Amino acid sequence: MNPVFADLPTSVFEVMSRLAREHGAINLGQGFPDGPGPADVRERAAEALRDGFNQYPPMMGLPALRGAIAAHYARHQGLALDPDTEVMVTSGATEALAGALLALIEPGDEVVLFAPLYDAYLPLVRRAGGIPRIVTLSHPEFRLDADALAAAFGPRTRVVLLNNPLNPGATLFPDEDLALLAGFCRRFDAVAVCDEVWEHVIFDHARHRPLMALPGMRERTVKIGSAGKIFSLTGWKVGFVMAEARLMRVLAKAHQYITFTTPPNLQEAVAYGLAKDDAYFEDMRRGFARSRDRLGLGLAGLGFRVLPSRATYFLNIDIAGLGFADDVAFCEALVRCHGVAAIPVSAFYADSPARNLVRLCFAKDDATLDAALERMAGLARRAA
Ligand code: PMP
Ligand code: GLN
């Protein structure tokens, strides 16, 4: 069996969700909202399932969805994408990532990654034969810096994989960091695979700037998005890939033999949803920001050190000094003894992890957040 997968543990998200079920805990671990998602988008999917065409859609995605994706990114991010040659629909961002890494990496190529890193990245890079060169970012800012990039990039660098906004950092990379990274990509002739699934889940009037929009990056960036995050429907697994036609031709070959297509009813509904007016996106952000503040202020009131959250469904707390061996010990105690599931941030590192950060998902209704806070009060007392 292939050792990359044979030696892997089960994903921390699955493990924590299982523990949450076993202990009847409130699940603030795995990132999914507990709301049902927008009714009109779901209705559209139901109609298409009932009355629509349910056979294989075109491999690259329904033309209506590819057109909607191009129009969406023109409107929200100023990108000019050709829906026929530069847009592809995948079964989630996860497939898009797997396909991009399989298509772009040749065995022995070096791939620059940033820790904390989303747990799918490293096994996919390794399975493609890539040699990871990991740059560790320091919390709470998680910024890029020139010396660290200079140490990671080299003549064998083929791909750099960036997650912006950053899960679990809950940060966005500022323009100057993106410009710095773009400079390295140009200098070393590397392709940037940019996982931007959290691009709409940003707060406090932040603006998301796609790496693809920076000078010299249009022809060397693979941009990845996910309808699951845009519409709070994480189980749908409708992803998108945007890249210049020369790259896209190769990415399409990977997609053709991974899933080939994505359920057509969901594609129709996502095409409809992407055209929603700005108010939808603003309301969504406002709602999540409210929940972020409810949980964040509540935790701070209990005595926890809460790191700022500017994006994603998550906030982090710093548990140093609370009397636990590390973040894993804290999360074990939290789920088993206090009935709240969270994610130890050390799971997002390959080595030398931060062991004092714990990620909590705030995309929940008020009653759930309040109940979690009540259960966590015991831990804060323990710290006092
Ligand atoms: N990348 C990141 C950074 C994520 O946080 C997630 C899921 N939360 C994904 C990719 C996977 O997206 P999808 O569910 O569309 O496969
Ligand atoms: N991306 C989600 C998170 O960060 C989980 C996705 C998964 O369960 N693989 O919580």
Counting from 1 in the atom list of ligand 1, the atom nearest the Cα of 237 is 15
Q: Which ligand 2 atom minimizes the distance to the CA of 343?
A: 10
Output the pLDDT for position 380: 73
Q: pLDDT tens for residues 326-360? A: 999 999 999 999 999 999 999 999 987 889 999 99
pLDDT of residue 309: 98
**Most ligand 2 atoms within 8 A of CB, residue of 15, 21, 28, 32 to mutate:** 32
- Which pLDDT value is given to residue 213? 98
Question: Which residues of the chain, if any, have pLDDT below 50?
Answer: 384
- From 95, 229, 232, 238, the mutation candidate for ligand 1 (largest count of ligand atoms within 8 A of CB) is 229
Distance 31 CA to ligand 2 centre (A): 5
Atom of ligand 2 nearest to the CA of 197: 1
Ligand 1 centroid to Cα of residue 26, in Å, is 21
Question: Which domains are present in the chain?
Answer: 3-30+279-383 (3.90.1150.10), 39-276 (3.40.640.10)
- pLDDT at position 382: 55
Which ligand is closest to the CA of 234, given by its number? 1
Q: What is the pLDDT of residue 135?
A: 97
Q: How far is the CA of 154 from the centre of ligand 2 (A)?
A: 31
Q: Which pLDDT does position 351 carry in this prediction? A: 86
pLDDT of residue 373: 98
Say what the pLDDT of residue 291 is: 98
Query: Looking at residue 379, what is its pLDDT?
Result: 86
Residue reference for tokens 């519409």: 231
